[in-house]
Every structure is written in structure tokens, then in C-alpha cells.
Amino acid sequence: MFKNKTLLYGLGIGLIIGSLLVQLMNQARGSAPAPIQTSTPPQASAKPADKPDAKQVKELASQYYQVFPKEEKLYTQAQADALVQQKVEEAKKQAGAAAAPSAKKTYIFVPAGANSTQVADMLYQSSLLADRKAFEDAMKKDQLSSRIIAGLHVFEGQPNLDEVIVNLTTH
């Protein structure tokens, strides 16, 4: 009748074994002892008039509750959130104060085919160079006039002449 008899036999056997495993797990869970047992501690029944000490109270209460000493400060969720928010604001203020004196970044775009004179003018206008002539002389002396890389160049702070030349000729 069906071409896939072995597949159907496998599915049937799998379902039967799966249901047997589920029944076995249900019976194993039902036979477990009850988790809560009411019993009086032996010391409490011997001395009912005496107050238990801190260690006994912790042991008895640790079954159901958390016990903390009076001196320990406990916070509600709202108080904890307020403290966290306050610490975050303090950290932002400190980060803002620390980030303010950061070095100034200057971006220069050098077009393709620009010569050292044009680049010197751009650097002078952006106040990265104090002397155009010194830049041009250094470029000619090292024969780097034709090695200026076109594109965006980033300068941090106030670089010296050698740093400017290295930035423009390497990438």
C-alpha cells in the first residue's frame, strides 16, 4: 500500500517509545518526597521559653527567607535605581570634563595632481604650517614633491614639519 513502510514503522515505534518515556518521567516525579516538612527543631522543643540566638534564627529562616543583620543597609529597587542613575550622571560629568581638552583634529583633502605649492597653501590656510617656504624646500630636498598622496589626511593637534610630510607621503 505505502512505499515507505520502514519510515512509517520508525515513526510509530518512535511515538510509542516517546510516550513510554513521558509516563516514566511522570511517575518518577510523583514518587519524590514532599519538599516542605514541618518539624520542630530539637533545641526549640527543649527550651521553649528561651529566645533563639542569631545563628539559630538564620538557620531557621534560611529555609524560606533571606536573613540580614540590622547593621546591613538594604535598598529597594527604586532606591537602587536612583543610586545607579546618580553614579551614571557623575561618570558623565567626569568624562565630559576629561574629554574637553582633547587634541584638535584637522582634516585636509588633497586633490589628485596637486603639487607641493598647492598643498603648502592648504596647510598654511588651515594653520598647520607656519612657513610655506620651509615645507616646499623640505619636499624638494627629499624629492617628495611627486609622492604626495591624494585623498583625505587627518592631523591631530599641531604637528611639526616632519610629521606633516610623513602624513602626506604615506598612507
pLDDT in tens, 70-92: 888 888 889 999 999 999 999 99
Segments forming the whole domain that contains residue 125: 105-169
Q: How far apart are CA 166 and CA 98, in angstroms?
A: 30
- pLDDT band with cut points at 50, 70 and 90 for residue 33: low
Question: CB under 8 Å to 55, separation ≥6 — which residues?
Answer: none
Assessment of whether the complete model's pTM goes beyond 0.75: no
Residue 13 domain flag: no
Residue 7 domain flag: no
The CATH number that applies at residue 155 is: 3.30.1490.480
pLDDT at 39: 57
Q: How far apart are CA 109 and CA 131, in angstroms?
A: 20
More confident residue, 121 or 40: 121
Q: In this model, does residue 66 exceed pLDDT 80? A: no
Asked if residue 107 lies in contact with residue 152, where contact means CB atoms within 8 angstroms, the answer is yes
Residue 51 domain flag: no
More confident residue, 40 or 106: 106
Question: CB under 8 Å to 157, separation ≥6 — which residues?
Answer: 103, 104
Q: How many domains does the chain have?
A: 1
Mean pLDDT, the chain, integer:
84
Positive or negative, the CA dihedral 67, 73, 75, 81 is negative
Asked if residue 145 lies in contact with residue 97, where contact means CB atoms within 8 angstroms, the answer is no
